[in-house]
Chain A
Amino acid sequence: MSDLFAVIAEPNRRLILDRLLESEASVTDLITVIGLSQTAMSKHLRVLRTHNLVTSRIDAQRRIYALNSAPLTELDSWLQNYRRTWSGHLDALAEHLDSKHARTN
């Protein structure tokens, strides 16, 4: 999973994923929206494809890139533990506020 963090640590790669979250896109769409050079875009798409975060298909001579969010579920399940901690803290805070509120009444 450390690999996955390294992949999405790069801000332009997150921008690519964000754009593909809306819909699949051609290279020109991606280059225009994100403002990268071809060299930079091909490099980032290659990294994303190697890590299975994007897929590509040829459609009538166009190459279209799409998001594959499956590897991100690994990230999500890792965060799950923290989410539990946070919601535990929030429950404690709610109890604390309730008791405080009860006292001032």
Chain B
Amino acid sequence: METQKGHKHILSQAIREITEIFTGMGFTFVSGPEMTNDHDNFEVLNFPDDHPARDMQDTFYLKGGGLLRTHMSALQVGHMRESEPPIRVFAPGKVYRNEATDATHEAQFYQVEGMCIDTDITLEHLKGTLETLLKKYFDDENIVTRFRPGYFPFVEPGVELDMKYKGKWIELLGAGMIHPMVLTNGGIDSSEYSGFAFGMGIERLVMIKHDVGDVRKFHDGDLRFVTQF
């Protein structure tokens, strides 16, 4: 009879592809817990307590303390403490935001964080690294990117990155040069080292590449979605 192979979820496939590209650029895959705390998710990343910047990320708080990580940046400082420059790491993983779901918003989704710390790292390296990543992932040498000013408390300068893909500009991700206070929190001398960091939604990448219109399809367990890839 006709027997069939199963399908890997497209998110797994995307993470595998991203892993290949990052590994090729000398980045190591790292991971951390989904359940974390205010200290790792916010405080060490220069989100002061009771600061309006906290409103940028709706957080799931847990009874008895703790919270679900709202971004993969929650791994930044811990990793800095465990290692020494040069640091090149990327961290794909699940993050949580307490927002009503619709075609473009999910309460749980995947992000990949990238972080590079060394002497003489500049915004131009950030641009180069992201362009390489995008060109390879989308298999399109014509992709160009542009920065706009952005704001995230843990980077300074902070930027937003747009990508021109198939003739259209698409808003893609937030990034910047790691804030000196964050480097200090990670035990790294900010007068000697600089670094960049960026965080990108993986579903968003997949939606653009494979033309998926609804983010909820990734997490509903429906094989009519899964088996297409």
A-B complex is real: no
